[in-house]
Amino acid sequence: MSASSISSSHKAGILAEALPYIRGFHGKTFVIKYGGNAMTEPALKAAFGRDIALLRLVGMNPVVVHGGGPQINELLDTMGVEAVFRQGMRVTDEKTMKVVEMVLGELNQEIVGLINQHGGKAVGLNGQDGRFIHARKMLLPPAAGETEPVDLGLVGDIVHIDADLIDILSARGYIPVIMPIGVGPEGEPYNINGDLVAGRLAETLRAEKLLLLTNTPGVLDREGRLLNCLTAAEIEHLCRDGTIHGGMLPKLEAALHAVKHGVHSAHVVDGRVPNALLLEVLTSEGVGTTILPNDAPRFLADSRRYLESDTRNLAAP
Partner 1 sequence: MNLIAPLLCPERIRLKLDASSTSRVFEEAGRLFANSLGLDATQVAETLAEREAMGSTALGQGIALPHARLKGLRQAQAAYMRLDLPISFNAPDGKPVADLLVLLVPEKATEAHLELLAEAAQMFADRRFREQLRNQDDAAAVQQAFADWPATAQ
Q: Which residues bind partner 1 (CB under 8 A)?
A: 16-17, 19-21, 23-25, 28, 208-209, 225, 228-229, 264-265, 284-286, 290, 292, 296-300, 302-308, 311, 313-317
The 3-state DSSP class for residue 127 equals: coil
Work out how close the CB of 274 gets to partner 1 at its nearest, in angstroms, rounded to a whole number.
19
Residue among 94, 22, 67, 5 at smallest CA distance from 278: 22
130 φψ region: left (φ > 0), alpha (ψ -120 to 50), beta (else): left
Residue 292 DSSP SS3: strand
Which candidate, 210, 208, 213, places its Cα nearest to that of 199?
A: 210
DSSP string, 140-158: EPPPTT--SPEEEEEEEEE
Min. distance of Cβ 306 from partner 1 in angstroms?
A: 5
The distance of closest approach from Cβ of residue 310 to partner 1 in the complex, given in angstroms and rounded to an integer, is: 11
Nearer to partner 1 by C-beta: 21 or 116?
21
Q: Which is nearer to partner 1, 116 or 231 (CB)?
A: 231
In the complex, minimum distance from the CB of residue 303 to partner 1, in angstroms, rounded to a whole number: 5
Q: Tell me the C-alpha to C-alpha distance, in Å, between residue 26 and each of 17, 56, 275.
A: 15, 9, 19
By beta-carbon proximity to partner 1, the closer residue of 4 and 313 is 313
When the beta carbons of 2 and 311 are compared against partner 1, the nearer one is: 311
- CB nearer partner 1, residue 247 or residue 286: 286
The one-letter code for the residue type at 9 is S
Nearest-angstrom CA–CA distance, 114 and 106: 13
Least CB distance from residue 288 to partner 1, whole Å?
A: 12
